[in-house]
Every structure is written in structure tokens, then in C-alpha cells.
Structure 1
Amino acid sequence: MDTDEELGADELDDENTDYVTFDMAGERYAFPMHRVQEIIRMPAVVKVPLGPPSLEGLANLRGRVLPVVNLRGCCSMEQAPHDETTRVIVVDGGVPLGFVVDRVASVISIDPQALEPAESVQSTVRSDVLVGVIKSDDGDMTTVLHVDNLIGSQFSRLSERGSRDTAATARVPGESDGDAESDDTLELVSFAVEGQEYALPIEQVQEIVQAPESVSHVPNAGSRVLGVIDLRGRLLPVVSMRRVFGLPVTPLAPQNRIVVVSIDGGVVGVVMDTVREVLRVPHQLVAPLPNVVEGEGRKSEVESVCRLEDGKRLVSVLSVNRMFDSPEVRNEIADYRDENEEMAVERDRSEADDGRGDEELFVVFRLDDEEYAVDVDTVQEIIRVPEALIRVPKSFDFVEGLVNLRGTVLPVVDLRTRLGLGRTERDERQRIVVLIIGGVRTGFIVDSVAEVARVGRNVLEPAPELSAEQARVVSRVANLPDQQRMLLLVQVDQLLAAEQADQAAELCEAIVDEALVGV
């Protein structure tokens, strides 16, 4: 990654003497012309929760998702309403980013000698977003701003991503963007077993489904195979990750997930305690497992280890081939596959999968004027908000209370408050969307539930990583320019942190215990 000095030198390159000038709060500023992609009018934006204060929202720029930032906010200036002269300057920061300015003035070419470098005033003004000052013959001055430092000061994750993309492109000239990113990072699906964190390469994972209440056991099944489940008309062999690791097998619970992986042309479901997140790990943070750790007679299921958070978090990367390197296990899985091959073929002839094809189903709801969505498979039910909730003292600010849902204690969270949007008065349109998080059924109050939407996978894309928490909670967006809509896709497992989910479980248990004592 370039240092600030190197970036500043690039901004002051003698060959880059063209600048786009603009006004803010009565003063004139400039960006180097070579960093400006285009200038547009203020677009309609979708507000994004948990982002930096200066973020206006996300806009649709010819089918691309464009983060739009208030430059006054970045520079700690007093805010002003937008008007007919307001413009958005789209800059190249590794990824496109739009800065809202009061007015665009002109494009100018200057003599490099007319630019006073920032070093001459830096010790006094102490501003790392200042590149230099353009002096004119009539005494006017134009302040040149540092594009990368402006981005980094508000959006460190976006800046880091841009730097990684730039470095990857520079490392292999002529390489495609997709190849550069895949060469630079390892994409993993992480999960937990017995409190330890493991991961599988994302290309080995076909899908992740919630574990059913039970698995159909098969007589004379092997030690690792739990049985079979129905997966959209196909019988899927299910293996216990706990048995693979030689750990005691626990009953299936709501938080359990089945990770469907490919093996020898077929598929196998592997039961995990929980699935955590999708990780993008730079290759330099991944090291092979030391040979001394390998067991005698066979290789360990772990092929490498990721060192995250300065080594405080270690994630063991598993190999599917090593997990099933036992001939006995492969034969057991093959038997299940052979027995059901004819039924699977017949099912393919009658219908394709669950009818979704290249689409995903989402429950769409509203908060303020924006539309959010969660995967339909994560939603247990949708209920009305009761007139009264049982208040819980010394709880999180966003916990509204508890409600009795058909004999089950249900913690209820105000999703607006959780996402930093502020509370609102209760009304008839509000609903509670019931989800399972960390094994606990939790209700989330939303302004209204709109629909169950069928969205093509081709319009789904990663959300810009504008802050660490936003990147975890709002992981993707569905960009629907034809409908003039943008859906913010919420990662359900990230709505409550682990300690928050634990507290919700403890609250429910305490209420149940009190009820039993009363009886």
C-alpha cells in the first residue's frame, strides 16, 4: 500500500496540471482531473444504516452501486441543503465514490509552479486532506484536496479495499479484475464446531441450509453419516462434523446449519454447530499446517490456518477431500447417492430445483423510506406488534421487551434502533419479523412488511464496505434500476452480536424459571 507521501507525490505530479474546481461554504477547492471520472447532478439515494455520518447513501449509476458522500461532512463544515447547483463529483478511489459539493466551477490548467505544496503550511494547519494551494495572479487561492486521504478518513474499509484492488492490478499487468482479486485473497465460509472456528473455501460450498428438526437414520449407517434429509426433492446424505472430529454428537438445534459440499461428482451435507460469516483473507495471512501437527497414518482435515486480528483469531481451513479421505466414508456416501440417483433424475425431469432457478426469495420490509430484505428461509413468521411488551431492565437500548408467543417467551428488538435510525411511534402497519439468531427465536420490529420478492442472482452484488459494522450487517444489495429500487440485504446472523444473543437467551430462561417457580 502506498504511503501518504507517495500518494501526495502522485497528486502533485508535474504531468497532472489539470484540476476540477468546485465551491463549498463560499471557498474554492479542487480535485486533480485525473482522479475525476464524471460529474453528475444529485441523484436519489438509498440511506444505509451503520455507515459513517458523512455518507448520504447509495445511488444507482448506470447499473452500478455508487456510495455518495457529503464533502462538507468529511471536512467538518456546517451542512447546507441541496439545490439546483449541487453536484456529485465521482472520483476513482479504487472503487467509484461520489462527493457532494455545493457547485462545480470549472476545469483549469495551471503552471506547476503556481501550486504551493502542503508541506509549507502543514505544521500549522495540520490537515492530512490538504495537497496544496493554487495561487492566482489576482490573489485568489484554490485549495487542492487529497482524494485518498478524504476517503480513508471516513471510509477506512473502502480505502483499504481500493488499495488492495490497485495493488493487485499493479502486481500482474493485464490481468482481469476478477483474477486479480481471487489471486490476492482467499474467500472462505467460516463456521464453529465445539466453540472452535473453522472454514471451507467458498468454491467448495454449494449452499448452506438450516438443519431440519430430525434426520432420517439409515440402518447400518457408518460412524460419520447421520442419515439423509430431503433437499428440494433429492435425498442428501448428511455427515456430522462433530463425528469427523471425534467429538460427541449433540441433538440438532435451530442454530445448526448444513453446509452442502461437492465430493466425487455428488453432494454431501455437513452439519455444523453454527455458520458465522464469509471471510476474504489476504493470502499472506494464510499459512499451511505444520507437518508436526499431522496425525500418523493420515493427513489432518486442516490444510492451512488463517491468522486474523493480529493473530488473536485463528481460523483453521479444512479440505473437503481430506474430510472424506476414508474409503469407508466415501463408500457409505456413494451408497446413498446410488440408491437415490433414479429419483433425482426423475425429479430433474419434472421440475428444476424449487422453482427458483437463478433467483433468490427475500422477505422485504421497510424502515423509514428504505427497503430492506432478509432471506425467506430465515424468517419463522411475521406477527403484529402487541399492545404491551414486558420491559427488561438493564438491557440493550434496542431491546423493546419480551412477548408471550403461544407459550414461548420471545425477545423483541426495535430494528430501527439497532441500525441507528432512531425510534418512532407505534402504528398499525408495524410488524414483528421472527428470526432465529444464535439458537434463540428473536422478533424484530419493522415499520411494515412489503412483500416476498423473487430477485435474480445477477442483480445481487456486495454492498460497499463503508464501515466494519455496516459491512457485517448489510452484506449485499439488490440493484433493480428498472424498478427504480435498491434492496439492502440484511445478514441475519449479524443482527445480534454473540453476547447480545446470549443475553436474549438468558432473559428468556429467567422468565421461564420465574413462571415455573410461581407454579
Structure 2
Amino acid sequence: MENKIEGQNVIFSVAEEQFSLPLNTVKEIIRIPTITQLPLAPKYVEGIINLRGEVVSVISLRDKFGIEKLEKNDQERIVIVIKGNALYGLRVDKMHGVINIEKEDISKAGSNESEFVNEVIKYKSEIYMNLDLNKVLDIKINQISDKKLEQKGKKEKVKVNIEEEEKFVTFQLDKEKYAIKINCVKEIIRFKEPKKMPTDSEYFMGVIKLRDEILPIADFRIQLGVDSRKIDEFTKVVVIESNGISVGYIVDRIDEVLSFPKSKILIPPAYIKAQGSEEISAIIKAGENKILMVLDPNKILTKADEKVAEKEQNRNIKEKLDENKLKMLETSQFIVFELEKTFYGVEIEKIQEINRLENVMKIPKSADFVEGIINLRGEVIPVVNLRKKFKIEEIEKTDFTRIIIGEINKKKIGFVVDNVREVLRVEKRKLSDISNFEVEKTELINSVYKKGEKMILMLNFDKLLDVSEMAGIEEVKKNISEEK
């Protein structure tokens, strides 16, 4: 199975660190059951458990990472992961839910990260380390489990249940347990107080802003007729898409992510339907005296409720469209360089490369602003000294002096600058016009960008040299080529 980090990820903590695993590697998440210890096993292998007839080895991530053991508590969980055709259990301190990861949130783990981490995820203001299962599970667990089975006289092979299964997120409302299919859950977030909105609905609490989107918040407890309790650290918001509308539902706590064979997912009894509970689409017998009620996301909201949520989202879309139209949120990237404490920017697509100032050959009888020529991988490139071109006093070259190489009219030219400062992404709406500049400068300078106290002059790269100057440089280049 491909370990695809982008998409939905399960989030958990071990000691003070927060970790993640792609949801497609997680079969289910369970409470700590009875663990049978294995003799002569590595310290971090706690033992084996019986998961509905299947033997699963359990690894303590605290022991694996060399962290002091934690006193047993109700928050610990075992994350059942899939590797190849086998299942393994990872013991973790606490579960935090499921989040949706975009490609841009992911970066490679640095040299300072643990050997068990292959990617780092930056999500909102949090940092999560994605575990490399190949390294975490780099032990001969199958052999250990097989030996234990042999000692118990179980010679037959453990049968793998190949019945098709479905994954569910389970949660609590008061003392009741509910479930919803994992593919209906967009993400699970911490509760934050919603902003009130005008509505006649008794269970719509208001709206919150989630990554620049307006998200209506409803209270599942009121909606399902369950006694409310005080908001605390366990309170979560489950974001569900219902008939194309995203709504966040307040729940008391997230329990587990569980997989069940389809044969365990049953039609609800007639009395539930008779009570008008259309939102309950199925029930699951999850163990002795443990029943999960499965919610149908498309039946949770009434038509009137959908209109309330849709109205809020449409208002958000309209506001964003108006904002985008007003702000013109197009961006450009610029190379920013310095000349005599003045900052200049050039659009990055105009620049081919940036090199150190080395081996510039002087050219007699050339314009005074022509520094000379360089040999760039067999190609002769004229080099212009921008200080001289802009009539700025000359200074000694330093280790920071650079040559910016770009094309003007399909001809490669190098420009000597004091130093290159940064690559800057700028919203075009934030570029000021140059109507108050002197007329002779307007062709050379396109706009001005204000970055804090710093002003950056955005150059028209194609106008750095005029036609006659380009012709003179080309003539020099031609003469050198003929001499060779």
C-alpha cells in the first residue's frame, strides 16, 4: 500500500511531540486491551494482542524513541497500522483526530529530526512529524508472533479476514456513541467559540473562519436530543460535507477510528425509524453491550437547516469574490538586489542565473559601463556594471558582489550588483504606480513595492539597455568572436 502523506492524516502525540500517519496506512484505533508479553523480545515490543481473531504485535513508541514510560491512563491508544499484508499496533499517548493535508504543507525531514521521521507537516500553527513505518517497524515481528503461537500449540496459520470493510470515526455525545463514515469527514478540529449569526435554528451556534472559509457550526447534542455538557479540552468539531455543504458539528469527544466488516453493519431496528430518527442509517455491534449508531450525513440537516448553512457559505463566496476583484490577488516573484543601499526588483522569469563575480575580461574601447565579458560554459556573455550605468559611485567588489544574467531581446547580458538579497513574492495589487516619478525614469522603473520601512524599485528589465547600447555591446561581442 502506498504511504501517501498528502490527504487525510491521523494525528497523535508521544510525550511532547506530535506525529502523523497517512490515513490509508491506519486500519483502526483502539483502546489498550490485554497485552500478552513475549519472552526475549526487544524492549519496545510490548507483546501481542488478539484483534478479532488476528494476532497483532504491539510496539511502544515511547520505548522505540527512548522516552521514559508513561503511567497507564485512559488517553492512551493503540493505532493499528497496515504494512504489506500484516497488521501492527503502535502504542501512543493521545489521539488528536484527523486533518486534511495539502501538498504545500509537507516538507522533507531535516537532519535534526528523528531517524523514524521522513516528512514534516506544517498545518496551521502546528508542526507534525510523519512517521516512516519502514523504520519504526524494522523488526522481525512476524517471527516473534509465530514463535509465540507455536509455543501455545497453535500450528494452524492465522486466517486473514478478507471481507470488505468500512472505516468509521466514532465519537461520544453524553453517554451515547455514534459513528460516521471516514470518507464523509473532511477534518476534525479543536473547538473554538463561533461568532453568532442571525438564524431561527436552535442548534446552529454561529460561524468560524477556517483557512479563509466561513464554516457554520451546529451542536450535535441539541440536534440529536442529547444532554449538553460543558465545553472542555476534549470537545471537538467534526467537519462533515452534507449534500455539498460543509458544516462543523460539536461533539463531546472523538473516540476512535475503527474498521468493521460490512456484515457487522446492520439496518437499524424499526422502532428507531418509527421515532423519526432518519439521520441514523445503520447500527454496528462493536462488542458486548456496545452499540454504535451510524449517522447519514445527508440526513442530518433538514431542508431549512441546509438553506441556513448554504446562505452563510454563499455569503462567504460572494465576499471572497468581491475581495478578490477588489484586491486582484495575482502575485509575481522578484529577485531583489542592492546598489548603494537602494533595493531593486526584477521579475524572476527574466533571470536565468546568478553567479559570483569571477574572471571578467576587460574590453578596450567599450562603453564605460561595460565591465567586460565572461565565458559561461563556452558562451561569451557581456557584463554591464549597473553602478556605472546608474551613475552611482564605484566601490570595491566584495564576496557578496554578484552577476545577474538575463535576456534582453533574446541576447544574454550580465549585470553586476552589490549583492542579491532575496526572492520575494508580491501581490500585484500592492505594487504602487510611479506617476510621481520623474519622466526620464518611468521607462526604467515599472512600480514600487513597500516592504515595511524598505522601498523596492521594480525595474523594467528589458529597458535596462536602450537600442544603441545593445547594438554597441553586440558589436564588441562580435569582434571578440571573430578574433577567436
Q: TM-score of the superposition, structure 2-length normalised?
A: 0.37
- Higher relative contact order (Cα pairs below 8 Å, separated by 6+ residues): 1
- Which structure has more helix as a fraction of its residues? 1
